[in-house]
Structure 1
Amino acid sequence: MPDTLTRGIRIAPMGAAMTTSASGQPLIPQPPATVAALRQAISQIAPAALPAFTRELDQAADQSRQGSDLAPLQRFIAQWAVYVHIQRQPDLAADLRRWEDTAESGDATRARQAASEIGRILDEAHAAIGLPAR
């Protein structure tokens, strides 16, 4: 994945755009894996990520046109579907941010543990939306 394992986007701590029910339910249902549905979901749960979404969509579209290959667009949609799956669950998104911070702590042992936990979160997100493991 570009930049970092989680899209290269660091979302600010939960605020007005990211609240959850008392039962810990996801903020929104998992949207279909289409550009329009993912854009709408991101605008609701992580509006700060919209510029990156648009920039990466443009890059994927350009790569697809240049290579006459849909793979870049398919990767883009899969990566953002995983991102939305995680971000729509504030507790899971917060766990991921904590592990990302731990990975950057400079302690090699903690960084390895963090990388393992980040991988687990991403693998579970892939499975939850029906994608093959990374």
Structure 2
Amino acid sequence: MTASASEQPLIPQPPTTVAALRQAVAQIAPAALPAFTRELDQAADQARLGSDLAPLQRFTAHWSVYVQIQRQPRLAARFAALEGQATTADAQEARRAAAEIGRILDEARAAVAQGMR
């Protein structure tokens, strides 16, 4: 049995480089490009001021996870719905939504780490 088109990733997970991530964001979530650019500029400034690559590594790790989620339409829609629930639902529902968001992020981080091997 094959997966439906809505279950297939829009693009392959890109390498964890700024250029590849920028291209992926432009393709699957162009509205996020201003945030990508702003955060990249901040990370580059922090790296330069601290003579440390950690801010750029955190930036690429964050955006790799973002792309991992957003390239999967059903998962991205579920993630967005959960974000809404976490901010608008009663406390119990908000906790459940936050827990599921955490699981999705953990799975996305693991998938990105697996792809880097």
Do Structure 1 and Structure 2 share a fold, with TM-score over 0.5?
A: yes
**What is the alpha-carbon root mean square deviation over aligned residues?**
1.2
> For structure 1, which runs of at least 5 residues remain unmatched after alignment?
1-20
Give the equivalent residue in structure 2 for 1:26.
Answer: 9
Q: When you count helix as a share of all residues, which structure comes out higher?
A: 2
Are 1:73 and 2:56 matched, yes or no? yes
Give the alignment of 1:104-115 within 5 angstroms: 104-115=87-98
Q: What is the identity percentage for the equivalent residue pairs of Structure 1 and Structure 2?
A: 74
Give the equivalent residue in structure 2 for 1:102.
Answer: 85
Are 1:92 and 2:101 matched, yes or no? no
Q: RCO greater where, 1 or 2, for CA within 8 Å and sep 6 or more? A: 2
2:24 aligned to 34, 37, 41, which one? 41
> For structure 2, which runs of at least 5 residues remain unmatched after alignment?
none
Q: Deviations over 1:14-66 (max 9, x none)?
A: xxxxxxx6262100000000000000000100000001000000000000000
Moved over 6 A (4+): none
CA distance in structure 2 between the partners assigned to 1:106 and 1:95 by the alignment: 15
SS of 1:60 mapped into structure 2? helix
CA distance in structure 2 between the partners assigned to 1:62 and 1:113 by the alignment: 37
CA distance in structure 2 between the partners assigned to 1:65 and 1:32 by the alignment: 23
